[in-house]
Amino acid sequence: MIDLISLLYYKVIMPSIDDFNSDPLIGKRLGTCTILKELARGGMGIVFIAYQQTLKRQIALKLIPKSYFKSEVTERFQREAEAAAILSHPNIVPIYEIGETEEFLFFTMQLVKGDSLSRVLEKIQSHFLLSRRILPIKATIRIILQLLDALDYAHNEEIIHRDIKPDNILMEKHTKRPLISDFGLAKVLRGDNLDFVVRGTPAYMAPEQILGLKVDGRADIYGVGVVLFEMLVPELPLLENEAIESFLKRKAYDKKGVFLKNPSDLNPNLHREMDEIVSRSISYDPEDRYPTCRDFLRSLEKYQENYLK
């Protein structure tokens, strides 16, 4: 167990590469691809749109400059690619190629045309009509069921994601299909000893993850539970302007949890049974959560049958 008094931002938030100049990389070739333009960047790397000459298609290419991080971080990046590459599921972004140069580690993957779920929710929650500021319940459950099916598959392959959040869920524009991306925090259960510090995104992290305890698939269930909660209400019911250290301490030690209201308190269209489903998925103790994603999925299917005919 870690001492939360000494827990600092850098132990929770990935190192930043905001100051990296990617302009010289445009037009350069990595592996079988030519880099076209930057698409996004985050703590674990920079994502570009690239053109794969061998198959004549646009794909996404993610790279990390080795000089910006310690070897432990580059090992995590390599692990992200390797973990995701063994997974084949319609709701997980597929990995095509893994490579390394003197300066960079990189991998290529499907280019998903659409927004992240966080961007989708941001647009909905800022709608000028109050009645349109929540995603329809049927659409929410449809998305969550697909995510749970994908994670159930990953868990059966002995891989947990550990950073489930709207930013890491991509919504395909035409099919509305959700795809899980960024296995940068994934832990392969077949003997992985790289993780010694807390990593993740605070609002979606399970308490045991914050405490540095052993983590299994139920940490992903917690993350999905928070995402479900967020999709069902106008805004997550958290204390305003709370410092991250205070939030993490409460989340780690307060068994009542950090959320101040139930989903049905904020969305009158929800039946109280949804409160029980969300509450169980984000229980403080992993033993009180759904034992598997499949069990969580079945509860939502039952809710759908009973209340959304």
Tokens of 154: 């990953």
The residue behind tokens 């917690």 is 222
Give the strand pairing for 57-65 and 33-42.
Answer: unpaired
Give how far Cα 100 sits from Cα of 75, 210, 237, 294, 306, Å. Answer: 12, 32, 44, 37, 52
Rounded Cα–Cα distance for residues 246 and 91 (Å): 35
**163 assigned to active site:** yes
DSSP reduced 3-state for 79 = helix
Rounded Cα–Cα distance for residues 184 and 159 (Å): 12
Our measurement of the distance from residue 144's CA atom to the centroid of its chain's CA atoms, rounded to an integer in Å, reads 13
Which of 152, 163, 182, 220 is catalytic? The answer is 163
Rounded Cα–Cα distance for residues 158 and 188 (Å): 6
Rounded Cα–Cα distance for residues 88 and 237 (Å): 36
- Which residues are catalytic, by number? 163
